[in-house]
Amino acid sequence: MESKEKFAPPAEFAAQAHVPSFADYERLYAAALADPDKFWAERAGDLHWFQRWTQVCDWSNAPFAKWFVGGKTNLSYNCLDRHLPTARRNKAAIVWEGENYEQRTLTYQELYRKVCKFANALKGLGLKSGDRAIIYMPMVPEAAVAMLACARLGVTHSVVFGGFSAEALKTRIQDLEACLVITADAGLRRGKEVLLKPAVDESLADCPTVKNVIVYKRLGTLTQMKSGRDHWWDDLTTGISEECPAEPLDSEHPLYVLYTSGTTGKPKGVVHTTGGYLTYVLATMKWVFDLKEEDTYWCTADIGWVTGHSYVVYGPLAAGATTFMYEGAPDWPKWDRFWRLIEKYRISVFYTSPTAIRAFIRQGDDFPNGHDLSSLRLLGSVGEPINPTAWKWYHTTIGKERCPIVDTWWQTETGGILISPLPGATPTKPGSATRPLPGIVAEVVDDKGEPVKIGKGFLVLSRPWPSMLRTIYGNPERFKAGYWSRFPGKYFTGDAATIDEDGYIWCLGRVDDVINVAGHRLSTMEVESSLVRHKSVAEAAVVGAPHEMKGEAIYCFVALKTGVNGSDALVDELRDWVAHEIGALAKPEKINFVAALPKTRSGKIMRRLLREIVTTKSVAGDTSTLEDYGVILKLSQEGKEEEEILGEKK
C-alpha cells in the first residue's frame, strides 16, 4: 500500500492558496492546539449569529459536547440571507443537470425565495421547530431546498438515500417518529424512472406518526395521492409568501439525523447540531477545497450521504460558492458523462470517490481524453482508501499533473473532513490522507491506547471538535459504548491506520463488523438479519472481501434450513431478497451455501476466519464443505484472539 513517492503542492497553486505553505499549516495547527477556544471562536466569527455564545466548548459532560453555548444562529440564514446584501445575490448558487440533459440554475436570490416559500408551506402544515421530517428525494435542487427549509424552521431533517428500500425507509421513519415525508414521484437513473412515492406508500403502512407527505413532481410519473395526507409540492408553494424569517436557533439545536450502519443490525441515527457543524464545514471548505469566489465546485456525492450534506449543500452554500449537482449515473449514456459535465460547466474543483475512479480507469483513457478538462484546478477523493495506482491515474489523466489531490478522511459521525492535505501546503503521498486538520488531534494508538510513534494501530481522536456527532438519536448509551468506551476519553473511529515517519496517517479500513462497499457503509449484521428473514435460511454470516472495483464486496455464508437444497436459483433469489430489503447497494456479490457456520465456543460467528477464507483462499466453486478447511481446528486457536479483538462490544 505504502508508496515512497511524495508530491509537493504545485508552486502556482500554492501561490494563490488560502493556506500557501506547510509552515502556514503548522502555524494554524499549533494555534489551534494551544488555544482551541480562541481558534474556533475566530472561525465561528465568519458566520452570522443572532446572539453570540458565552462559551466556545463545554466538555464538562463528556462525551456529550456542546459548542458555542448560548449562541443563536441558523444554517439556512448563513447559506442564503447572509449573501443577499453582497454581489452574490445574483450569483449561481446551484447549477444542476438532469440525467436527461435538463438544465437549471438557481441564483442565491432564487434559491432564497424557493426555500422561503417551501418553509412557509411547511409552516402551513403545522410544522415547527423540534419536529422531524424525512427527505427521500432524487438529486434535484428541490432536495437542497427541502433541507434548507427544514433548517430555516428548526425542523430536524433526515435524508434517506433514494436507493434505499421501503423497508429501510420505514425503520428510519419509525426510529425518528417523523411527522412528515418529503419525496418525489420518481428520479432518473440510467434512463429509467426510479419510483420513490410507491416506496413511501409501502413504508407508511406502519408509520402512524407521519401525518403529511409532500411530493415533488420530477417526471410527471403517474402517482397515487392519498387525500388528506399527500400534497403536491407545487400546490403547496403556489401563491405563498416569498419571505420567511429564519428562526434564531440554539447553537446545539439538532440540524439533522443521518442513519448509518453500525456493528449491529439496527442502523444508528447520527445527530448533528447547528453552530459547531456550520463553523466546521465552512472552515474546511476553505482549507481543503481552497474555495474561491470564482470556483464552480462539484462534489459527486448523493445528498443521502453525509458528504452530500456537508460538501454538496451546507458547506459550499455557506461559503457562497456555486455548487454543481448532477442527477444521474456516471456511465449514462456513456462513460464520459462526468468529463462532459466538467467541460460543459467549467468545473474547477472536483470531489469524488475511489470507487468511481477505479471504474473510470477500467473504461480506458479515451473517455477523459476526449474532453477539455483544463478548467480543473483541484481534485478530491473520499469514502475509502485510495490505492496509489488509482491516485496516480487521477493525478495524471484527470489532473494533468497540474491539480493537487486532497484525499479526505472522515466519517458520517465526524460531520466534516478531519484528515486531509491542504492543497497549497501539504506534500502528498498517494494513498495517505496525510495530516489532521487544524484543531483535530488524531492519533494512532495500540491496544492499550498508547500512541504509536511509527507503525500500525487504531485511529482515535483525542479532542472534541465542533462538527462531532452529539449522540445517537434516542440512544445515548449506544453513543457512549460505541465510540468512547474502547479507549477511555478518546473517540474511537473504528478504523485501523498506520502512522509514518512524517506523521502521515494511512487509513487501512474498518476493524469492526462494518464493511465499506463502494464508499458506502454497511453492517454485516444488517445483511445477516435480512438473510435470516428469508424462509429458506437457517443462519447466515456476512463478511467483506476485497473487490477490484468496489473496494469491498459482500460475501455471504448461508446455512439453509433442513430439507432445503442450495441451487443457483436460490442464490439469485437471496441476492434479490437482500437488495429488496435494504437497497441495491447491499446486493451480495456472492452467496456460499455451507453446512454450518464456524463459531467460537461462546457461539459468536467467526467472521474474521471467514474474511480470511474469502481473502486468501479461492471461494469460487463449491464451498459447501467449508468444514474441510479445518475450521474446527482453527477455531480453538483463533477463538481467543477474536474475542479479544471484538471484546469491546459484547
Q: Shortest Cβ distance from residue 630 to ligand WT7 (Å)?
A: 31
Kindly tell me which residue out of 203, 387, 516, 530 binds ligand WT7, with binding defined by CB under 6 A. 516
409 part of the interface to ligand WT7, by CB under 6 A: yes
User: Cβ closer to ligand WT7: 385 or 423?
Assistant: 385
User: Cβ closer to ligand WT7: 71 or 330?
Assistant: 330
513 part of the interface to ligand WT7, by CB under 6 A: no
Residue 215 near residue 184, CB atoms below 8 Å: yes
What are residue 106's phi and psi, to 5 degrees?
-115, 120
**Window 431-460: contact mask with ligand WT7 (x via CB under 6 A):** --x---------------------------
Kindly tell me which residue out of 76, 156, 408, 426 binds ligand WT7, with binding defined by CB under 6 A. 408
Kindly tell me which residue out of 521, 575, 608, 611 binds ligand WT7, with binding defined by CB under 6 A. 521
Q: Please state the separation of Cα 30 from the chain's center in Å.
A: 29
Q: Shortest Cβ distance from residue 431 to ligand WT7 (Å)?
A: 9
Hey, what amino acid is at 186? Answer: A
- Give, as ranges, the residues between 46 and 105 that touch ligand WT7 (CB under 6 A): none
203 part of the interface to ligand WT7, by CB under 6 A: no
User: Cβ closer to ligand WT7: 20 or 262?
Assistant: 262
Question: Is residue 73 within a helix (H) or strand (E), and if so which, with residue range?
Answer: strand 72-73
d(CA 572, CA 587): 10
User: Cβ closer to ligand WT7: 42 or 500?
Assistant: 500
411 part of the interface to ligand WT7, by CB under 6 A: yes
287 part of the interface to ligand WT7, by CB under 6 A: no
- Contact stretch for ligand WT7 (CB under 6 A) within 96-104, 130-138, 170-178, 401-409: 401-409
383 part of the interface to ligand WT7, by CB under 6 A: yes
Instruction: Specify the length of the chain in residues.
Output: 650
d(CA 146, CA 543): 37
Residue 93 near residue 107, CB atoms below 8 Å: yes
- Contact stretch for ligand WT7 (CB under 6 A) within 69-77, 338-346, 403-411, 612-620: 403-411
C-alpha cell at 355: 470507487
Residue 276 near residue 467, CB atoms below 8 Å: yes
Nearest to 422 by CA among 22, 82, 16: 22
Q: In what order do the strands lie in the sheet with 505-510?
A: 442-445, 455-461, 491-499, 505-510
Residue 59 near residue 40, CB atoms below 8 Å: no
User: Cβ closer to ligand WT7: 461 or 560?
Assistant: 461
Count CB-CB contacts under 10 A for residue 602.
Answer: 9
Q: Is 293 exposed, middle or buried (0-12, 13-18, 19+ CB in 10 A)?
A: exposed
260 part of the interface to ligand WT7, by CB under 6 A: yes
Q: Shortest Cβ distance from residue 509 to ligand WT7 (Å)?
A: 6
**Window 303-342: contact mask with ligand WT7 (x via CB under 6 A):** ---xx-----------------------------------
592 part of the interface to ligand WT7, by CB under 6 A: no
Residue 354 near residue 517, CB atoms below 8 Å: no
Residue 225 near residue 232, CB atoms below 8 Å: yes
509 part of the interface to ligand WT7, by CB under 6 A: yes
Nearest to 511 by CA among 451, 459, 445, 588: 459
How many residues bind ligand WT7 (CB under 6 A)? The answer is 23
Q: Please report, as ranges, the residues that interact with ligand WT7 according to CB under 6 A.
A: 260, 306-307, 382-385, 407-412, 433, 493-495, 507, 509-510, 516, 519, 521
